[in-house]
Chains A and B, each alone.
Chain A
Amino acid sequence: MAHRKKVLFKYIILGDSGVGKTCLMNQYVQKRFDKTYKATIGADFLTKDVMMDDKLVTLQIWDTAGQEKFQSLGQAFYRGADVCMLVYDMTNPKSFDNLEHWRTDFLHNASPPDPDNFPFIVLGNKADLEADRKVPKHKALTWIKSKGPKPLPYFETSAKDATRVEAAFLEAAQLALEQVSQEKDDYFPDTINLSQPATRRNAEPAGCC
């Protein structure tokens, strides 16, 4: 039964094109950084196993396309997300302004059971370009405070030199861990369905697992 006990957290990374979503994921999962831009098309995940409180947790990290023309099939993959990471580029004010849009879009399409307390985490990326910074820190702080009963966790990261990348992903896992008690939409038969052909079952379904 070990395989069923494994905990899986689904992360969704959202943000404008070019903010560094792919780079953040690659840095965290593969410890790699690529300085040329390569667009992401659609949505795609990488997984990474981490130990949390002596438990093995698999992180399924969904990287998404920031460019609209590369997002044709919709947001079905938002469903069942445990954490959403909102990323902007500190050197690009527009990407910060759009965070609100990404957040609303997520809540709308993922329809989590308790939207007000859904764990978001905000990343101001490209911290290595401090000299070109265009979004003042206080603006980010004001925004994260306005988004719920508690301020959203906020990290200034650099996918380039790995600054605070690990910390941000672990904080996200911690948040998910606190949420995990809320079960996802698992299927339970209305009645124990005995009409299932016997050949397909060796034993009675136990009703719950």
Chain B
Amino acid sequence: MALNIDQTKFLEEAMRKVKEQAFYMKHAMDNEDLKGTLTHASDMLRELRTGLLTPKSYYELYMKVLDELRYVEDYFTGLQKQGKPVVELYEKVQSCGNVLPRLYLLITVAGVYIKSLEAPARDILKDLVEMSKGVQHPMRGLFLRNYLSQVSRDKLPDVGTPYEGEEGGSVQDAYEFILQNFSEANRLWCRMQQQPTNAHNKEKKRREKERQELRILVGTNLVRLSQLQGVEAATYKEHILPRLLEQVVQCKDTLAQSYLMECIVQVFGDEFHIATLDLFLAACTQLKEKVNVRAILEGVMDRLATFAEANPAAIPPHLRTFDMFNTCVSKLLVERPGYSVVEVLRLQASLLNYALHSFPGNLEYLNLCLGNCATALADKRAAHQEQAVIVAPLPFALDSEGVEVVERLLTLPLACLALKVLELPHFASLLEFLPWASRRQVGVTLLQAVYNSRAKLSNLESVEKLLEMVVPVIKEEPPSVLGSEEAQALRRQQNGERGVEDAEEEDETGASRSRGGGCTGSTENGKARRLEEEQLLLGRLVHVMASPDTDMHFRFLAVARRHFSEAPKDRFQYTFPPLVLATLQLVRRVRRREVAAEGADGNQEGDTQGGRAASEGASEQVAVEDGNGVLGLKKRDVPGMQFGCRKLFQAVHEMLTSLAPHFANLALKLFLEAAQAADRCEADAFKLISYEFVTQAFLLYEDEVTDSKTQIRALTAMIGTLLQARHFDESDYDALSTKVTQYAAKLLKKPDQCRMVALASHLFFVGRADEPGHYHDPKRVIECLQRSVKTADMCMASSQHMHLFVEVLNHYLYFYECGCPTVTEKYLSALVAFINDKRNEAALVGGGPAEGSSRAAEIEAYYKNTLDYIRLKKTQTDNKELADRFSAIQV
């Protein structure tokens, strides 16, 4: 605090003096008074000798002085233009008393001198850089050299400048000058640290801070070098970089090494780095222990990777840049055994990132990095276990930082590799070091990457491997073998300060107790949503598996099923439906093969009793019971095919049976799907299977479905399934249809009963009267319809009856038109008359516009349309028979 106030005071005072002297200096200039000008300029510059200012304050003062020195330069230029030889000025200035002001003035004159071309740039610059050694105070020296660098910037004998030539020198003189100025500046800067102190920690810190602030004064010299037009990659390689690196390595100063290496990377162009990568990397391994070499390497790698991406083929492949970086990293690891395992992992992560960007698709490089990490961790674990015998009871686990790096290492390559990660043997081994939650995260990213890549899993090994990798997405973490306290300690270690989800999960119960509803609800929701998303993602995996061989395809599904079955049951709802549907899709393909084989055999049902399957290999694996499972199947073989439709249906049955207790509605729907698929197999042999599936759906309906809306949806699906079925035995069909009709009649609400029974009536008269082979039981049709009319009549109170009447009338019409013999014109005429009566009644009671007019109008229109339809049919000329029949209806 006091320091700040003092600083302001010191600075203000110095500024005031500078302004004052500058004023008199300019006055002297106006009076063409050279001596006075120099004296005041010198007095002004004397302020820069202060030892009271911090670097930042000194910089302000220096800036002010520089502003004023510009007038001096203009003044000298003026004198030169008037014909005064600059050499006179140059010499005159050297007689100025004090060294610091003298050098500033000298540099200012020198600028004019060089610009006038009256003296060779080379000699003057050499002079200046040498003479500047006269200031050995680090901060003053650094600023002075910065001034020298600033003034000489546009006066170097670079290629294409007027200062280049026999006398003036060449670009070599230019870079020699800058290199020397740089070396001197760096020496001053490093010396600051070595200045004797009472080794007070606070003092050391302050000095370190000051050095940090002053670092740009050293770094700008490198910028100057990079600005030289005449320096090409070869020169840089031969003459410049070696000198810089020597300086960096030799100075043995951690701060300087870190900063300067970073500057070199940033300040010089990409081509230069490519040309000198070996030199640079060699120096990297010679830096002080505390230098963050990884940051330096990352800097170069980022540059090269960006460059390679923008200019493909710009880096010649024979350079093998990856190998160079890898060698450098290996060397570092050998020479610095003190590196923490996390640092080792991070180095590998940088390397991997480089490989990914510069050599996309090179699996070897990626595997190498992952392998290095796995080895490092395995070593660490081995060491840990040795120790554990004596002290630590906890198993080896990464800390939170380690977890983060490994997670990154494994996630980075996914987007670009997708399924190809399966070809990286070390991917899986590294995965094992992660805690469950992180593995799950990696798994989710992997799945997403796989879908994005649109690649297909087409061999059993990959399917197994991939599912193994995503096990943490499938299952909950298995209970720890550790005691709960130890497990917690372990978790804390892994979670560190990252509030990862696991920690969230853990305190959830606690939170709900202490904080009450709102907040917890939302995390719980969030968790549920996340789970749902992940499980849906997982389910999609089924569609990524594909094989032209149906047996193989079925094996894939079986493996997936085995894994999915190990999940908590509430996840089945997401993962089983895709499995079931995929199996049913496969049924179509398998069936085609079977049909083809049957045709070739020339005997359709002949080998139903045929011998047992030659290969039973996958039987226990997929838990398909041979022969007489639940479905009462008998085996039949297609040569070379192991899994026939029956086995597939068996599998479906099992899956749905395990799904049913938890998700009855879902299972019901899928049972019906399965029934349809079996029926579509177009063979009598499958009618039993189909019947079994429908029966299962019915049982579920009876036992589990209680909600009205769901019941209606289920019944509609059942009726639809039965109507589409073609292969049931008549007695079975009859039994099933009767059941559905009974369900419909038992619905809780009258309007529902009415509608569903009417719908069920269709089960008893499929197709038209003259179509053979369809199930026709006209008596049952009229029973259903009559019952519907009765039920509708009971709905007066809710005034829904009118609509229901018209609906049923339409069903009647349908059957009448189809030629169902029980549905006669007598019924139709009666129903029309009946409806007309009801309408009149309603009008009398005064159901005027008050009673939901728009709805009433709607019903009226519906009724009118229906009657219009009858009238139209009466006049239809192209079907005389139909017209005659309709004419019999009295409207």
- Spell out A's residues near B (CB within 8 Å): 1-4, 6, 8, 34, 36-42, 44, 46, 65, 67, 69-74, 76-77, 79-80, 185-189, 196, 200-203, 205-206, 209
Interface presence of B834 (CB below 8 A): no
Q: How far is the CB of B231 from chain A (nearest CB, A)?
A: 12
Residue pair B36, A202 in contact (C-beta under 8 Å) = yes
**Alpha-carbon distance between A202 and B59 when the two chains are bound, in angstroms:** 33
Question: Are A201 and B36 in contact, CB atoms less than 8 angstroms apart?
Answer: yes
CA distance A190 to B253 in the complex (A): 50
B393 in the interface, Cβ–Cβ < 8 Å?
A: no
**Interface residue stretch chosen among B207-215, B663-671, B771-779:** B207-215
Q: Is B70 an interface residue (CB 8 A)?
A: yes
In the A-B complex, the 5 residue pairs with the smallest Cβ-Cβ separation, listed nearest first, are A187-B19, A36-B269, A39-B266, A42-B216, A3-B74
- Could you tell me the distance between the alpha carbons of A40 and B227 in the complex, rounded to whole angstroms? 10
Chain B neighbourhood of A42, CB < 8 A: 216-217, 219-220, 223
Knowing A36-B271, A41-B223, A67-B266, the reply to whether A73 touches B24 (Cβ < 8 A) is no
Asked whether B154 is an interface residue with its Cβ less than 8 Å from the other chain, the reply is: yes
- Chain B residues 1-58 with CB under 8 Å of chain A are 19-20, 22-24, 26-31, 33, 36, 39-40, 55-56
- Judging by beta carbons under 8 Å apart, are A4 and B29 in contact? yes
Do A70 and B24 touch (CB < 8 A)?
Answer: no
Contacts of A209 in B (CB 8 A): 26-27, 30
The contact of B63 among A67, A72, A77, A203, by CB within 8 Å, is A77
Query: Is A189 a contact of B29 with CB atoms below 8 Å?
Result: no
A73 touches B59 (CB 8 A): yes
B60 at the A/B interface (Cβ < 8 Å)?
yes
- The chain A residue with its CB closest to the CB of B33 is A202
Using CB atoms, name the residue of chain B closest to A71.
B216
Known: A4-B71, A38-B226, A202-B31. A189 touches B60 (CB 8 A): no
Q: Most chain-B Cβ atoms within 10 A of its Cβ — which of A40, A41, A42, A67?
A: A41
7 other contacts beyond A40-B223, A200-B36, with CB at 8 A cut-off?
Answer: A3-B71, A4-B71, A42-B223, A44-B220, A72-B212, A73-B214, A79-B63
Q: Is the CB of A73 within 8 A of B220?
A: no
The answer to whether A189 and B220 touch across the interface, beta carbons within 8 angstroms, is no
Q: List, sorted by A's number, 21 A–B pairs whose CB atoms are closer than 8 Å.
A: A1-B30, A3-B75, A3-B78, A4-B30, A4-B74, A8-B70, A37-B270, A41-B219, A41-B267, A44-B150, A46-B154, A67-B266, A72-B215, A73-B55, A73-B213, A76-B60, A76-B63, A189-B23, A200-B39, A205-B27, A209-B27
**CB of B827 within 8 Å of the partner chain:** no
Interface string of B217-242 (1 = CB under 8 A from A): 10110110011000000000000000
Name the contact of A187 in the complex, choosing from B22, B63, B154 (C-beta under 8 A): B22
Give the size of the chain B interface in residues (CB under 8 angstroms): 52
Residue of A nearest to B66 (CB): A77
- Cβ of B451 within 8 Å of any chain A Cβ, yes or no, is no
Would A3 and B28 be within 8 Å (CB), given that A8-B70, A38-B223, A72-B215 are in contact? Answer: no
Kindly provide the distance from the CB of A102 to the nearest chain B CB, expressed in whole angstroms. 19
Query: Which B residues are in CB contact (< 8 Å) with A44?
Result: 150, 153, 220, 223
**Shortest Cβ distance from residue B376 to the other chain A in the assembled complex, whole angstroms:** 30
Are B27 and A201 in contact, CB atoms less than 8 angstroms apart?
yes
Inter-chain contact A200/B219, CB cutoff 8 Å: no
B contact residues around A41 at 8 Å (CB):
216, 219-220, 222-223, 263, 267
Report if B77 contacts A (CB, 8 A): yes
Q: Which of B31, B212, B214, B268 contacts A203 (CB 8 A)?
A: B31
Give the residues in chain A near B267, CB-CB below 8 Å.
38-39, 41
With A38-B223, A46-B154, A73-B213 as contacts: A196 and B24 at CB distance below 8 Å: yes
Name A70's contact: one of B20, B22, B63, B216 (CB within 8 Å).
B216
**Which chain B residue lies CB-closest to A39?**
B266
Find the A residue at minimum CB distance from B35. Answer: A202
List CB contacts (< 8 Å) of B138-170 with chain A. Answer: 150, 153-154
Also in contact, A74 and B33, with CB within 8 A (given A36-B269, A38-B267, A189-B20): no
| B520–chain A nearest beta-carbon distance, Å | 36
Chain B CB within 10 A, most for which of A38, A77, A203: A38
B860 within 8 A of A: no
B residues lining the A interface (CB < 8 Å): 19-20, 22-24, 26-31, 33, 36, 39-40, 55-56, 59-60, 62-64, 67, 70-71, 74-75, 77-78, 150, 153-154, 212-217, 219-220, 222-223, 226-227, 262-263, 266-271
**A42-B220, A74-B56, A201-B28 are contacts. A69–B262 as well, Cβ < 8 Å?**
yes
User: Roughly how many angstroms separate A79 CA and B66 CA in the complex, as a whole number?
Assistant: 12
How many angstroms from the CA of A72 to the CA of B78 in the assembled complex? 36
**A39–B263 Cα gap in the complex (Å)?**
8
- Closest Cβ–Cβ distance, residue A208 to chain B (whole Å): 10
CA A206 – CA B28 in complex, angstroms?
10
A residues near B212, Cβ cutoff 8 Å: 72
- Is the pair A206, B27 in contact by a Cβ cutoff of 8 Å? yes
Chain B residue contacts of A72, Cβ below 8 A = 212-216
Residues on the A chain within 8 Å of B270, using CB: 36-37
Cα(A65)–Cα(B20), bound, Å: 32
Complex Cα spacing A158 to B718, Å: 70
Task: Name the B residues within 8 Å of A186 (CB-CB).
Answer: 19, 23
Kindly list chain A residues whose C-beta atoms are within 8 Å of the C-beta of B216.
Answer: 41-42, 65, 70-73
A6→B71 CA distance, assembly (Å): 10
Bound Cα distance A70, B22 (Å): 31
A38 cross-chain contacts in B, Cβ below 8 A: 223, 226-227, 266-269
Q: Could you say which of B24, B30, B213, B227 contacts A200, with CB atoms under 8 Å apart?
A: B24
With A and B bound together, what is the CA distance between A39 and B711 in angstroms?
A: 72
Bound form: Cα–Cα A77–B56 in Å = 11
Chain B residues closer than 8 Å to A188, beta-carbon distance: 23
Determine the residue in chain A with the shortest Cβ distance to B266: A39
Q: What distance in Å separates the Cβ of A120 from its nearest Cβ neighbour in chain B?
A: 21
Min CB–CB distance B393 → chain A (angstroms): 45
Taken together as a complex, chains A and B put the C-alpha atoms of A201 and B217 apart, in Å, by: 36
Using Cβ atoms and an 8 Å threshold, which residues of chain B touch A67? Answer: 266
Closest to A10 in B: B67
Q: Distance (Å) between the CB of B640 and the closest chain A CB?
A: 57
Cβ 8 A contact of A202, one of B22, B28, B75, B220: B28
Could you tell me the distance in whole angstroms from the C-beta of A25 to the nearest C-beta in chain B?
Answer: 12
In the complex, which of the residues A40, A42, A72, A189 has the most CB atoms of chain B within 10 Å of its own CB atom? A72
- For the complex, what is the distance from the CA of A188 to the CA of B22, rounded to whole Å? 10
Q: How many angstroms between the C-alpha atoms of A6 and B223 in the bound complex? A: 30
Nearest chain-A residue to B22 (Cβ)? A187
Residues of B within 8 A of A189 (CB): 20, 23
Distance from A131 Cβ to chain B, minimum over Cβ atoms (Å): 15
Shortest CB-to-CB span from A197 to chain B, Å, is: 9
Question: Which residue from chain A places its CB closest to the CB of B213 in the assembled complex?
Answer: A72
Within the complex, what minimum Cβ distance (angstroms) separates A18 from chain B? 11
CA distance A73 to B31 in the complex (A): 37
CA separation between A185 and B271, bound complex, in Å? Answer: 47
- Interfacial chain A residues near B153, Cβ < 8 Å: 44, 46
Contacts of B71 in A (CB 8 A): 3-4
Residues of chain A within 8 A (CB-CB) of B19 are 185-187
